[in-house]
A and B are shown apart, each in its own frame.
Chain A
Amino acid sequence: MRSATPWSIVFDDLLVATGETLYMVVVSTLIAVLLGAPVGIWLQLTAPGGLKPRPVLHKVLGFVVDLGRSMPFLVLLVVLTSLTRLLLGSTIGPSAAIVPLAVGAIPFVGRLVQNVLAEVHVSVVEAAVTTGSSTLRIVRSVLLRESLPALVNAIGVTAIALLGYSAMAGVVGGGGLGDLAVRMGYQRFNDRYLWSTVVVLAVIATAIQFTTNRVARGVDRRRTASV
C-alpha cells in the first residue's frame, strides 16, 4: 500500500491536463465548425427541395459523411497519423491529437448543420428567392442567420462530444484529463486522480452547455416579449 498522492501534486497535474484538454477541444471544435459547416450547407443546398437540388451529388456526399461518422475515433486516431505527420511534422502531443479530433468531427458537424438549416421554413426561403437574392446571400442572411440560435447549440454539442473524444488523445501522447484519469487514476488505482478528473470534466461540459445556451438565447429574436 502506498500512501495517497498529496492533493497539491494532484492539483498541479490536473491544471496541466485541463490546459491540454481545453486546448484540444477549443482548437478542434473551431476547425471542425469551420470545415464542417460548409459541408452541412452543401448537403442542405443539394438536398431534394433545397435551393440547388442535385439528388445524386447529395446522396454521394451524404454517404461519405455517414461513412466518416461511423468511423470509431480510436481507429481514426491511428489511421490519420500520416496526415498528422504531413501537417505538423510530428505524431505525438496535444497538437497531434487535434488533427484526428477535428477531422472526425467534420462529418458530425456537417450533419448537425444540415439538420439545423433544414428547419428554416421553405416559405421563408422562397420569399427570399423571390426578392432576387443570390444563393450566397440567402445562405448568409436567411439560412444561417435564421438558424443562428440552433447553430450555436450545435457548436456546444460538438464541443462536448470532442471533450469526450479528447479522452482518447493519450494514445498519441496528447495528454489531457482523460489520459490523466486512465494513466494515474485507473491504472494506478489512484482514486484522487480518477474522481477529481471526473469532476473537472463535468464542470467543463456544464460550462460549455451553460455558455452556449446563454449565447443561443442572446442571439434569438423569436418570442421576444413586446412589453
Chain B
Amino acid sequence: MITVENLTKTFPGSTGQVRALDGVNLDVAAGTVLGVVGPSGAGKSTLARCVALLERPDSGAIRVDGTDLVSLDGTALRAARRQIGVVPQGDSLLRQRTAAGNVALPLEAAGVAGPQRRTRVAELLDLVGLTDKAGSYPDQLSGGQRQRIAVARALAASPSVLLADEPTSALDPDTTGSVLAVLDRARAELGVTVLVVTHDMGVVRKICDDVAVLEDGRVVEHGKVLDLVTDAASRTASSLLPAVDQNPALESSFDRVADVVLVGFAAVGALLPEATSRFGVELNLLGGGLTRLGETPVARFRVGLKGERADSALEWISEAGGSVRRTLSGPQGVAA
C-alpha cells in the first residue's frame, strides 16, 4: 500500500511562488486502484513526479508499506525506486531496444542474472499480451502496444506500487481499453497497488476502486467510487453518472419526483419494481440511465411517483440501499 502524507511543493513562478501541491493526503490500500483526477493545472503532474521520486517535495511523506521514501538519497533512493513501478507520461521506451530489452531494463538495474531475467521478461510480456512482439522495436509497435510494454517494464522488478501518469492521454478509445485492461490485470494477478493520474474520468469509470479529486493542489474529494456516486453533491457523481434532464412540465404531473441512484446488480434490477408493487404506487422513469463502474452496474434515474404512499415508497428505496434525493421541481417537492 502507499500513503501520501501532507505533500507540499512550491515552484518559483513569474508572480512569486506557485503552490503546486498544498498538503495532499492520499491513501491507497494494497491491491486497489486509485484514480487521481482533476483539471489541468491542479497539480496532477507534480504529484505524479513526486510519487515517482523524480521531484522532491518541500515537505510531507510518501510511504510505501510504511517506509518514507522522500528523504532517501543515493543507493537507498535507487533501491526505493524499484518499489514503485512507473509508467511515465508520453513515449518513454528505448527506441534502440526491443520490447523485451525495454522490459529487461529494471531487471538489469536490479542486478538480476540473465536466465532469471529472460524468464521474468517472458512472464511480463505474457501478462500484457505481447509475447509475440518480444523482438519488435518500439517503432514497429502501435501506441497502445508501446504503452503496454511500458506497463510491463514498470512491473518488471516486482514493485508493490504501480504509478501510471496519464497512461491513456495519447491513445484512441479502443487502445485505451487495452491499456486499462492491462493495469487492471496487474492489480488482479500481481496484487499491485495502482495509482493512476489522469484527466480522463473514463479511466476512473473503468478501473478505479477509489478516486481522489485534485483542485488547486488540494484533494477536495477522496473515497470509494461507489460511495461517492451516491453523494449527489460530489464531483465524482456529477461526472460519472448519467445526466438527468430537467423537464418541469412533465414532472409537475407527479406527486413526488426524486433522483434515485442505484448501485449494484440487485439494486438496479429489482428495487424500483419492488417498490411499485409493495406500496401500490405508479412509478415512471423520467430521465437518467444506466452505466457501469468497473464491473458494477450503476443507475441514476429521475423517477416520478403517483399514489398515496409515494413518500413511503421513496423511504423504502432509501432503506433498501438506493440513494434517494427528492427534487424541488415536483408540486409537493417542498414538502419532501
Give the B-binding residues of A (Cβ under 8 A). Answer: 121, 123-124, 126-134, 137, 141-142, 145-146, 148, 219-226
Bitwise, B136-151 to A at CB < 8 A (1) or not (0) is 1101100000000010
Bitwise, B79-100 to A at CB < 8 A (1) or not (0) is 1111011101111111111100
Docked Cα-Cα span, A221 to B139, in Å, equals: 8
Residues of A within 8 A of B137 (CB): 221-222, 224
Q: Quote the shortest CB–CB distance from B54 to chain A (angstroms).
A: 6
Given A220-B96, A221-B96, A226-B140, A132:B91 Cβ within 8 A: no
Docked Cα-Cα span, A226 to B52, in Å, equals: 33
Docked Cα-Cα span, A29 to B136, in Å, equals: 35
B18 sits at the interface (CB 8 A): no
Docked Cα-Cα span, A133 to B88, in Å, equals: 15
Residues of B within 8 A of A219 (CB): 96
The 10 closest A-B pairs by CB, nearest first: A127-B92, A131-B106, A130-B86, A132-B81, A133-B109, A226-B140, A132-B82, A132-B78, A221-B137, A123-B92
Q: Is the CB of B84 within 8 A of A131?
A: no
Q: Is the CB of B86 within 8 A of A132?
A: no
Docked Cα-Cα span, A142 to B109, in Å, equals: 12
Q: Is the CB of A123 within 8 A of B78?
A: no
Q: Is the CB of A123 within 8 A of B53?
A: no
Docked Cα-Cα span, A124 to B109, in Å, equals: 15
Q: Is the CB of B94 within 8 A of A145?
A: yes
Interface size on B, residues (CB 8 A): 36
Residues of B within 8 A of A131 (CB): 81-82, 105-106, 109, 153, 156-157
A225 closest partner in B (C-beta):
B140
Q: How many Cβ-Cβ contacts under 8 Å join chain A to chain B?
A: 90
Q: Is the CB of A130 within 8 A of B105?
A: no
What DSSP secondary structure best describes chain B's contact surface? loop
Q: Is the CB of B91 within 8 A of A221?
A: no
Given A129-B81, A130-B54, A131-B153, A148:B96 Cβ within 8 A: yes
Residues of A within 8 A of B58 (CB): none
Residues of B within 8 A of A132 (CB): 78-82, 106, 109-110, 157
B91 closest partner in A (C-beta):
A123
Among A123, A127, A224, chain B packs the most CB atoms within 10 A around the CB of A127
Q: Is the CB of A146 within 8 A of B82?
A: no
A124 closest partner in B (C-beta):
B92
Q: Is the CB of A130 within 8 A of B96?
A: no
Docked Cα-Cα span, A133 to B98, in Å, equals: 18
Docked Cα-Cα span, A141 to B91, in Å, equals: 17
Residues of B within 8 A of A128 (CB): 94, 105
Q: Quote the shortest CB–CB distance from A198 to chain B (angstroms).
A: 39
Residues of A within 8 A of B98 (CB): 221
Docked Cα-Cα span, A220 to B140, in Å, equals: 13
Residues of A within 8 A of B88 (CB): 123, 126-127, 130
A134 closest partner in B (C-beta):
B78
Q: Is the CB of B95 within 8 A of A221?
A: yes
Bitwise, B91-125 to A at CB < 8 A (1) or not (0) is 11111111000000110111000000000000000
Residues of B within 8 A of A130 (CB): 52-54, 81, 84-86, 88, 154
Q: Is the CB of A126 within 8 A of B54?
A: yes
Within 8 A of A (CB), among B132-179: 136-137, 139-140, 150, 153-154, 156-157
Q: Quote the shortest CB–CB distance from B86 to chain A (angstroms).
A: 4
Not counting A137-B108, A145-B94, A221-B98, a sample of 11 additional A-B residue pairs whose C-beta atoms are within 8 angstroms of each other reads A121-B91, A126-B54, A127-B93, A130-B54, A130-B84, A130-B85, A130-B154, A131-B156, A133-B108, A146-B95, A224-B139
Q: Is the CB of A223 within 8 A of B53?
A: no
Given A129-B81, A130-B54, A222:B139 Cβ within 8 A: yes
B150 closest partner in A (C-beta):
A127
Bitwise, B36-60 to A at CB < 8 A (1) or not (0) is 0000000000000000111000000
19 A–B pairs (Cβ distance < 8 Å), ordered by A: A123-B88, A123-B89, A124-B93, A126-B54, A128-B105, A129-B81, A130-B52, A131-B81, A132-B79, A132-B81, A132-B82, A132-B109, A145-B96, A145-B97, A146-B94, A146-B96, A148-B96, A223-B139, A224-B140
